[in-house]
Amino acid sequence: MSQVFLGIIPARSGSKGVRDKNIRMVAGKPLIAYTIEAAAQSALLTDCIVSTESEHIAAVAKQCGGAVPFLRPAELATDDAPTIDVLLHAVAAYEQLHSLQVDYLVLLQPTTPLRTAADIDHAIALMRSMPEARSLITCYEATAVHPRIMYRRSGSVMHPYLADGQGVTSRHAFEPVYVRNGAIYIADRRLVVEERRVMADTPVGYLMPRERSVNIDDYFDLFIAESILRGGYGTSENPEC
């Protein structure tokens, strides 16, 4: 029997950074639609569901082609509700509903709308190619902002973030470092259920370009994402979503 990769799109109501962020209209359709569409176009996801406590968000998600087989409890939709508890609820409810066991959870946050179906499939394929791997994260290379050019502030005095960072002036001399972008997390079931973790200590990394790594946390991020999407990065066969 083939392994079950379950996509989970968490989309609670309420957002401090951007009001009604998950269903806010972005470049002509609800933000959540981009993730629903990418998941639907994936060839390697076994299934994908939206996890929300909101009837309204559920209705919007369904209109955009998403599956919402159940609602999560309200206590799992607060600002301080741990993501791991949301995932545990989703996988338990899904397994009970379908009488099967999920092998891998694929967390797809709706706040990263530029992630593509190809990104999802490449990440799953990479995970499959490394049987010893327990989790995967998506990253992009930090170029404009590197730890070697970062500082801590003490009053008006700036201290290098890295002890040896002051003497390096050329970006080309920097060791490559990578930023987790939040677009895709893959975790094996045991890591989530038994250890209550989404990331292993040394996860596999799938690299994405910076322009597909925008994670919407505030209105500036929203402006950047919408500008890129209007420039042709977003596609949809459903003009109403």
Domain contains 239: no
Q: What is the pTM of this model?
A: 0.89
- Pair 44, 133 in one domain: yes
- 223 with 206, same domain: the answer is yes
- Domain contains 238: no
Model confidence pLDDT, tens digit, residues 131-158: 999 999 999 998 877 787 788 899 999 8
What confidence score (pLDDT) does residue 235 get?
Answer: 42
Clarify whether residues 133 and 14 are in a common domain.
yes
Q: Using one digit for the tens of pLDDT, what is the confidence trace for 158-169?
A: 888 887 655 556
Tell me the CB-side half-sphere exposure of residue 43, using CA atoms within 13 A: 4
Question: Is residue 122 one of the residues assigned to a domain?
Answer: yes
Query: Do 129 and 183 fall into the same domain?
Result: yes
b/e map 115-153, b = 16+ CB within 10 Å:
bbbebbbbbbebbeeeeebbbbbbbbeeeeebebbeeee
Residue 53: which of 13, 24, 93 has the closest Cα?
13
Rounded to whole angstroms, how far apart are CA atoms 231 and 222?
Answer: 14
187 in Cβ contact with 198 (< 8 Å): yes
Mean pLDDT computed over 66-70: 98
Residue 241 lies in a domain: no
Lowest mean pLDDT among 33-47, 68-82, 119-133, 140-154: 140-154
Does the residue 114 lie in any domain? yes
- Is residue 126 in a domain? yes
Q: Among residues 176, 192, 222, which one ends one of the domains? A: 176
- State the pLDDT at residue 147: 80
**152 lies in the same domain as 193:** no
* pLDDT over 90 at 122, yes or no: yes
Do 224 and 149 share a domain, yes or no?
no
Q: Are residues 165 and 72 in the same domain?
A: no
Range of the domain at 95: 5-139+177-233
Mean pLDDT of the chain: 91
- 105 and 157 housed in the same domain: no
We report the CATH number of the domain holding residue 67 as: 3.90.550.10
Work out the angle at residue 104's Cα, subtended by the Cα atoms of residues 177 and 84, and round it to the nearest 5 degrees.
75
- 53 falls within a domain: yes
**Count of domains observed in the chain:** 2
Q: Are residues 201 and 162 in the same domain?
A: no
Q: For residues 162 and 152, state if they share a domain.
A: yes
pLDDT at 170: 65
Q: What is the CA radius of gyration of the chain?
A: 19
**Are 37 and 150 within one domain?**
no
Question: What does the DSSP assignment read for 111-168?
Answer: T-TT--HHHHHHHHHHHHT-TT--EEEEEEE--SS-GGG-EEEETTEEEESSTT-TT-
Are 222 and 154 members of one domain?
no
Q: Which residue has the tokens 């951007």?
A: 18
Q: Compute the C-alpha angle 91/82/86, nearest 5°.
A: 20
